[in-house]
Amino acid sequence: MKKKIFLFDIDGVLIQNGKFVPDIAHYLSMLINSEKSVKLVTNCSLHKIHNFSEKLLVNSYISIVDPIDVLLYMGTHNKDFFTQSFAIIGTKEIIYRVQNIGIKIRDITSEEKIDNILVFEKIHYDQDVITKAARMVINGSKLFHSGIERTTSSGGEIYPGVGAIISQIRYMTRKRFINLGKPSKFIIDIALEGNVDKNEVLFIGDNYETDIVGANNAGIDSILLSPDKLQIKKKKKLKGVIVCKDLADFFKFYYPKFN
């Protein structure tokens, strides 16, 4: 079936090893010139991802949705949400972005009652802060997190991701948390902006557990860009998933079927 809306993950799909994949501007321009809607859906709220995306020649036709946009949506549709107290685990730039949408951040080490805890990506997590967050959750604080990625990388080194931190807090508290990012369908629904025919939407991602499961949760077809045999084995569990080696492979062999 023809697709009118194309959703892309960013890191690992449009950007690899800190650089745009070859011919990415050409591919996106081709979609836009064919009157396709292009949206980028990412669990990463760091400026480096947005800065890379904004360098695309066709950026004025592309929108980006990340977990902070989900928070903004929640605050827009629930007037009481931003009046609550928040503490955050994340980088300085993420804290700055969260504050810019109207959320007042309190010190997580404070002894006062805090309604909500936000956990975002960060290279180095403080174990004392993680323990403090767990105690707050036990005492009634709600916890929101930006994704489930087990690892993150910087400078060629691998570090614990948000998913690893959330798993630790969940093990300590036995509580359920609210995921602002993929694979929650909420972030994808916000990107789609209302009533659309989901048969006309295609998600292109490189991570089975976030991108592909997220697309499946939202009821849309997906493309898995991966030479990873384990991911290919996993995809057999879900319908409507096509596996491609990379973005060039998708546009050469599969895009004509959706155009």
- What DSSP designation does 252 have? I
Instruction: Give the per-residue pLDDT at 202.
Output: 96
Tell me the H-state helices in the chain: 24-33, 47-54, 67-77, 92-100, 127-138, 162-173, 185-192, 213-218, 229-235, 247-249, 255-258
User: Does residue 76 sit in helix, strand or coil?
Assistant: helix
CA distance 47 to 84: 26
Instruction: Give the per-residue pLDDT at 64.
Output: 87
Instruction: Give the per-residue pLDDT at 233.
Output: 59
Distances (CA, A) of 195 to 27, 162, 190, 191, 201: 26, 31, 10, 11, 12
The pTM assigned to this predicted structure is 0.90
Mean pLDDT for back-to-back runs of 10 residues, the chain (259 residues): 93 84 88 91 73 58 89 92 94 91 90 92 89 94 95 80 95 95 96 89 94 94 79 61 88 90
Cβ(65)–Cβ(36) below 8 Å: no
Instruction: Give the per-residue pLDDT at 178.
Output: 97
Domains of the chain in start order, with CATH, are 5-65+198-258 (3.40.50.1000), 68-179 (3.40.50.1000)
**How far, rounded to the nearest angstrom, does the alpha carbon of residue 19 sit from its chain's CA centroid?**
19
Torsion of the alpha carbons at 56, 57, 61 and 66, rounded to the nearest 10: 10
